[in-house]
Chains A and B, each alone.
Chain A
Amino acid sequence: MDRFSKSSRWIALMGRNRAYGIFGLITLTVMVATAVSPSFLAPANVNDLLVQAAPIVIMACGVMVVILTAEIDISVGSMMGILAATLGVLTSPRHLDWPVPLAALAIMGLGAGMGAVNGVLVAFGKVPSIIVTLGMLTAFKGGTEFILEGGWITDLPEGLRFLGTGSILSIPISVGVALVVVGFTGWLLSRTSFGRRVYAVGSNQTAALYAGIPVRWVKLLTFTWSGFLVGVAVLVSAPQLSVIDSGFGTGYELLVVTCVVVGGVAISGGVGTVAGVVMATLLMTMISTVLIFLKLGENATYWSRSIQGCFILGAVLLDHWLRSQKRGWGRGES
C-alpha cells in the first residue's frame, strides 16, 4: 500500500505539468544518444541545440498566448519570411543601408503591427482566427516575393550578422534573448492581471465578458504580442545565415504550433504553461539532431520523418497516460 501510494504520488507529480513528462522523454533521449555517440553532450553541441531552439521558443511564447485565448495564429511562418526579407532590404548596403539598430526597431514594430492587423480582424471583425491567419500566411508569402523581386539578399552587414552569430558573456545572443522572452512571458501569464485575463478568456469567453474583461482588447493584444515576437525571432535568427532567401520561415507555423500543443497548451484554450512549451521545443529541435547522431545509415534518411512523428505521438501519449494515472489516484483518495 505504502509503496503503491509512493509511486502514484510520483506519477501525480509528473502529471501535474506536461513539462515533467517531456523532461523525462528528453532525459531518455539524451541518454540513448550519448550512449551511442558520447560527443552528443559536448558543449559545442549543446550550444548549437540551444541556438537552434531559440527562435522557435521565442515565437512559441507568442503563439501560445494566442492559443490560450482559444484562438490560433498560423501566419507566423510567412510573417517570419516577410520580416526577414524586409530586414535584409533595410540593412543591405546594396539596398537601403539603414543603421542596424534602426532597422531592428522597425522590424519589431512591423511585426507588432502585422500581429495587430490579425488581432483587429479577429477581435473586432469577428472573423475566425484560422481564416484570418491562413489568409495572412499566403498574403505575407506573396509580399516576400514582391520585396525580394526574384533575388536574394547576399550582402548582410557585419553589424547585423552579429545579432545572429555573436555572443555576450559567452551566451549566444539568440539564447539570451529567448531566456528573457521566456521569463517575461512566464511572469506575464502567472503574475499579472493580463495573464489571468488571457486564461479567463480562453476558459470561458462568455463568463469572461460577464466578468467585465475586455475580451476583444485582450485578443488584440495577444496577436500583437505574437507578431512582435516574430520580429524578435527574425532579428536573432535571420542573420545566422549569410543569405536571406525567399523561403525563409516556410513551414515554421506548423513547427511552432506543434511545439505549443505538444507542450501541453490546450488548443481549446485556457490551459498550458510556458515551461511545458519550452520543454517541447527543446525536444522537437533535438529529435533531428539525435537521428543524425544515432548514425542509422543512409536508408534511415527516408524514414526519419516518420520517427519524428512517432516521437511527437509518444510524448503526447505518455503525457495522456500520466494524467489519467493522476486522475485515478485522485479518485482513490477521495
Chain B
Amino acid sequence: MKKRSGLGLILVGIALGVGCGGQPGGEGPEGAAPGTAGEDRKVTFYLVPKKKGLPYFSSCAEGARAAAAALGNVELIYDGPTDGSPEKQAAMIETFALKGADVIAVSPNDPDVVGPAMRKAREKGVHVITWDADGVADSREFFVNQATAQAIAYGMVDTMVRDLGGAEVSADVAIVTAYLTAANQNIWIEHMKERLASSASQLNLVAVKPSDEDQKLAFSVTQDLMKAYPAIKGFFGISSVSFPGAAEAVRQAGKTGEILVTGLATPNSMRSYVEDGTVKSVVLWNTAELGYLTVLVGEALATGTLSAGATEFDAGKLGKKKVEGDQVILGDIMVFTKETIGDFDF
C-alpha cells in the first residue's frame, strides 16, 4: 500500500518536472486551428526566441505584436524554450510545423542542433526564416539581421574609444562575454579584435572571460579582472546579462568615472549606471523594430510578395530596407546615452 502511494508520488514528481520544464508546444493564446482555410485566411506565425523570459526578446515580441495588429491577417504566437536549450527549441519547431504553421521565425540557440528541425519544417512547406541570430544557410529562406556583426562590434569599440577620450588614448580593456560557445558573441569578438588592432584605437585587449549568462559570475569576474589588471580602463559587457554584472562590479569598487563599462543590453537594466556615469553608452538596436520587421518579412513570404532575389523590401512604417543576398537588414545600431535613455522603457 505504502509502496504504491510512493510510486504515485514519484510519477507526480516526474510529471511536475517535465510539465514545468520546457512547456513545449504551448498553445497560442487564441489556440486557433491553423491551416483551416476560411474566407479571411490568417497567416499562422510562430516567433521563436532563443530564450523566453529575457526582456530583450520580450521587447522584440512587442514590436512583432504591433506588426501583426497593423497587418491584420497574422496570427502571431510567441513561444520558445524558457531555459535557452537548443534541443528544446528544435523539438518546439517540429511541433509548430506539425500544428500547421505558415511561418516560423527562429533565433537559433545553436544553428547545428536546430538546423535539422528547421529543414524538416521547410520540407513540410513552412516558410522558415531566422531573426536576431542566423542559422545554417539552407535551413532558412531569409535572415532578418538587426545590423551586421561588423557594425555591432565596431560600434561598441568606437563608443568605448570615444567615451574614453579619443583614438589617441591608450588603455587596457577586457571583454566579459556570455558563453564561450555563443555564436553571436564570438563573431562580435572577432570583429572587435580587428577594430581594436586598427588605427582607430590604441586600446589593448588583455582578457576575454565568459560569464555563462550568470550575472553574479559576470560581477565576480569583473572584480577579479580589475584587481589583476590595474591598468584596465574599460570593460565590454557584450550580453544583456554580463553588462549589468560588470557595471555593478565597477560601481561597488568605487571606480565609477575611472573605469568605463560599455556593451549590449536593454535600457531599463542599465538606467541607473548611465545616470551615475559608470556607463556612458549602451549599445543596442531597435528591438521593437526588429520584431516588427521580422513579422513583415515572414508575412510577405507567406503571401508571395517577397521571394529570393529581391534587393529591396518595403517595410511599411520602417521605410525601405536593404536586402543583401538572403539577409534583410534592419539598419544600424542604436546608442543610448544619458540624454536619450529616458525616452525608452524596455
The answer to whether B55 has its CB under 8 Å from any CB of chain A is: yes
Q: Is the CB of B215 within 8 A of A247?
A: yes
Q: Report B205-225 residues with CB < 8 Å from chain A CB.
A: 207-210, 212-216, 219-221, 223-225
Determine the distance from Cα of A131 to Cα of B14 in the docked complex, in whole angstroms: 8
Contact B220 A48 (CB under 8 A): yes
Of the stretches A59-67, A136-144, A189-197, A324-332, the one at the interface is: A136-144
- Asked if B10 and A141 sit within 8 Å, CB to CB, the answer is no
Given known pairs A241-B215, A242-B244, the reply for A298 and B272 (CB within 8 Å) is: no
Within the assembled complex, what's the spacing in Å between the Cα atoms of A256 and B23?
Answer: 28
Q: A154-B271, A293-B224 are in contact. Are A127 and B13 (CB under 8 A)?
A: yes
Q: Which one, B1-9, B30-38, B97-105, B113-121, is touching chain A? A: B1-9
Chain B residues, Cβ within 8 Å of A288: 220-221, 224
> Does B18 sit within 8 A of A, measured CB to CB?
yes
Residue of B nearest to A133 (CB): B13
Main SS class of interface, A:
helix
Is B17 interfacial (CB 8 A cutoff)? yes
Q: Does B20 contact A (CB under 8 A)?
A: yes
Q: Tell me the count of chain A residues lying within 8 A, CB to CB, of chain B.
A: 49
Given the known A-B contacts A148-B53, A241-B215, A241-B245, are A141 and B220 also in contact in the complex, defined by CB atoms under 8 Å?
Answer: no
B318 interface residue (CB < 8 Å to A):
no
What A residues does B213 contact at CB under 8 A? 247
The one of A135, A142, A145, A243 in contact with B215, judged by C-beta atoms closer than 8 angstroms, is A243
Contact A145 B53, CB 8 Å, known A127-B10, A154-B268, A293-B224? yes
> Once the chains bind, are A131 and B13 in contact (CB under 8 Å)?
yes
For residue A268, CB closer than 8 A to chain B, the reply is no
Closest to A55 in B: B216
Q: Which of A121, A141, A152, A302 contacts B180, CB < 8 Å? A: A302
B228 touches A (CB below 8 Å): yes
* In contact, B180 and A138 (Cβ under 8 angstroms): no
CB <8 Å contact, A154 and B269: yes
- Whether A135 contacts B13 in the complex (CB less than 8 A), given A126-B2, A141-B20, A288-B224, comes out as yes
Contact A150 B58, beta carbon cutoff 8 Å: yes
A243 touches B269 (CB 8 A): yes
Distance in Å: Cβ of A56 to nearest Cβ of chain B: 10
Look across to chain A and name the residue whose beta carbon is closest to the beta carbon of B210. A301
Contacts A125-B9, A241-B244, A292-B225 given; does A152 touch B16 at CB 8 Å:
no
Which A residues are CB-close (under 8 A) to B244?
A: 241-243
- Are B82 and A141 interface neighbours, CB within 8 A? yes
**Provided the pairs A135-B14, A151-B55 are in contact, do residues A241 and B216 lie with their beta carbons within 8 angstroms?**
yes
**Given the complex of chains A and B, what is the CA–CA distance between A136 and B272 in angstroms?**
35
Once the chains are docked, how many angstroms separate the CA of A245 from the CA of B209?
Answer: 20
Contact at A298–B207, with CB atoms within 8 Å? yes
User: Does the CB pair B180–A293 fall under 8 Å?
Assistant: no
Interface flag for A95 (CB, 8 Å): no
Q: Is B317 part of the binding interface, using a Cβ–Cβ cutoff of 8 Å?
A: no
Q: Are A138 and B17 in contact (CB under 8 A)?
A: yes
Is B52 positioned at the interface, with any CB of A under 8 Å from its CB? Answer: yes
Provide the bound-state CA to CA distance between A152 and B55, in Å.
Answer: 7
Task: Report B-chain residues with C-beta under 8 Å of the C-beta of A45.
Answer: 227
CA distance in complex: A30, B245 (Å)? 26
Q: CB-CB < 8 A to A136: which residues of B?
A: 16
Q: Which of B9, B16, B227, B230 contacts A138 (CB 8 A)?
A: B16
Chain B residues within 8 Å of A52, by CB: 220
A233-276 at interface with B (beta carbon < 8 Å):
237, 240-243, 245-248, 250-251
Contact check, A132 vs B13: say whether CB atoms are below 8 A apart: yes
What chain B residues lie within 8 Å of A1 (beta carbons)? none
Extra contacts, 18 of them, besides A137-B17, A138-B16, A154-B269 (Cβ < 8 A), are A48-B220, A121-B13, A127-B9, A131-B14, A134-B17, A138-B18, A142-B23, A151-B55, A165-B252, A240-B216, A240-B219, A241-B244, A242-B247, A247-B213, A288-B220, A288-B224, A301-B180, A301-B208
Some 28 contacts from A to B, beta carbons below 8 A apart, are A39-B227, A44-B253, A45-B227, A126-B9, A128-B10, A134-B13, A138-B17, A138-B21, A141-B82, A151-B55, A152-B268, A240-B216, A241-B216, A243-B215, A245-B54, A247-B213, A247-B214, A247-B215, A250-B214, A251-B214, A288-B220, A289-B220, A292-B207, A292-B209, A295-B229, A301-B208, A301-B209, A302-B180
